[in-house]
Amino acid sequence: MLKRSVALSLCAAALLLAGCGGDFSGSRYDEASVGEVSRTDEGAVISLRRVELKPDHSMAGTLLGGAGGALAGSLFGGGNGKILTTTAGAIAGGVAGNAIGSRAQDGIEYTVRLNNGSVVVIAQGTDPAISVGQRVRVVYSNKGRSRVVPA
């Protein structure tokens, strides 16, 4: 019974980790970006539209889900039945992990007219809330990523 509890806990943890998709918020920085010097431009939002942000497809969710499913499946059956339950668990876990890891998030595509007259378009998460006409800063990281933040 203890083995089944441990296996089911590991399977649940694998699925939760698989669900940790990208965070597209304009209000969060990853650890590697903390302390990084960034260039900024100021401007105003001239339009926005809702978009769907889909994380880059990675095999992490599929692999973690498959491993958890195989582990859970291996606790059932005996002989050839154990092979079948392990295989079925791996397939089901992999499918579930892939679906969870590929989940899209709501986002906003901002069109910003910079003070120098040029126009840039940046898609990011819905946080922070920014409206048309609002003064903003476009923050450019050294990694080629940008974000829109209130000025």
Structure tokens at 140: 């450019």
Ordered DSSP codes for 104-139: -EEEEEEEEEETTS-EEEEEEES-S---TT-EEEEE
What is the C-alpha to C-alpha distance for residues 83 and 110, in angstroms, rounded to an integer?
52
CATH number of the structural domain 36-55+105-151: 2.40.50.100
The pLDDT, as a whole number, for residue 91 is 81
pLDDT tens digits, residue range 37-91? 678 999 999 999 999 887 766 666 677 777 877 777 778 877 777 777 877 777 8
Tell me, yes or no, if the pTM score tops 0.85. Answer: no
The pLDDT, as a whole number, for residue 33 is 64
Between residues 71 and 24, which one has the greater pLDDT? 71
- In 3D space, the residue among 143, 148, 121 whose CA is nearest the CA of residue 31 turns out to be 143
